[in-house]
Amino acid sequence: MFSEKAKKPGCIEVICGSMFSGKTEELIRRLRRAQFANLKVEIFKPRVDVRYSDTEVVSHDSNSILSTPVDNSASILLLGSDVDVVGIDEAQFFDVGIIDVCRKLASGGVRVIVAGLDMDYMGEPFGPMPALMAVADYVDKVHAICVKCGDPALHSHRLTHGKNLVELGERQSYEPLCRHCFNNANSNS
């Protein structure tokens, strides 16, 4: 017989979609369930995300969970040791090192739950998200509702005229649109 308990294998779960699709809400739900199960949980977010709180991951519905803001993905590996579950919000804002960080944590037996935008405001794959989805054990793509027609929305349409890829904002800056309405909005721009 084994003298010590074998460590369970870890995994990578990715929750992706457009703005207002419930990504962070789902991340918080999964992390709270892990906490309820008395698992040791650490939650991280990029330090640049200060829309609602400096130290909490907050959904658009105002649900929140305490987190640690970090400057880069390497910090997650350093701070996320000796835990059962690691949650990462707004993964699209991290450097490409986040992919290796998630793989190392999962290989070490940690359940890694990542949430982030899969596409930027131009409809292009966003940051490390495509690679995270490729190495994930599970991928859940969630959808918002198109504010123009009511169909499932997969795009985050920017309402402001800024050209920076990263422009933090809420409903005054972005709206969820389906493919058809997104294409129409961009052809009229």
Q: How many domains does the chain have?
A: 1
Could you give the CA distance from residue 46 to residue 31 in angstroms, rounded to a whole number? 17
What CA–CA distance (Å, rounded) separates 129 from 168? 17
| 185: in domain | no
Question: Is 132 inside a domain boundary?
Answer: yes
Which residues carry out catalysis? 90
Tens place of pLDDT per residue across the chain (189 aa): 333 445 678 999 999 999 999 998 999 999 999 999 999 999 998 887 645 555 655 555 656 666 788 999 999 998 877 899 999 999 999 999 999 999 999 999 999 999 999 999 999 999 999 999 999 999 999 999 999 999 999 999 999 876 765 665 555 689 999 999 999 999 865
Residue 43 lies in a domain: yes
* Residue 165 in domain: no
CATH number reported for the structural domain that contains residue 60 in this entry: 3.40.50.300
Do the domain assignments include residue 76? yes
Question: Beta-carbon neighbour count of residue 47 at 10 Å?
Answer: 14
Smallest CA-to-CA distance from 87 within 107, 105, 62, 108 is with: 105
Q: What is the DSSP string of 58-115?
A: E-TTS-EEE-EEESSHHHHHHHT-S-SEEEE--GGGS-THHHHHHHHHHHTT-EEEEE
Would residue 170 count as lying in a domain? Answer: no
Task: Tell me whether residue 158 is in a domain.
Answer: no
Give Cβ neighbours of residue 167 (< 8 Å, ≥ 6 apart). 121, 158, 160, 173
- Asked if the structure places residue 156 within a domain, the reply is no
Residue 93 CB burial class (10 angstroms; 0-12, 13-18, ≥19): buried
Q: Print the domain residue range for 36.
A: 11-142
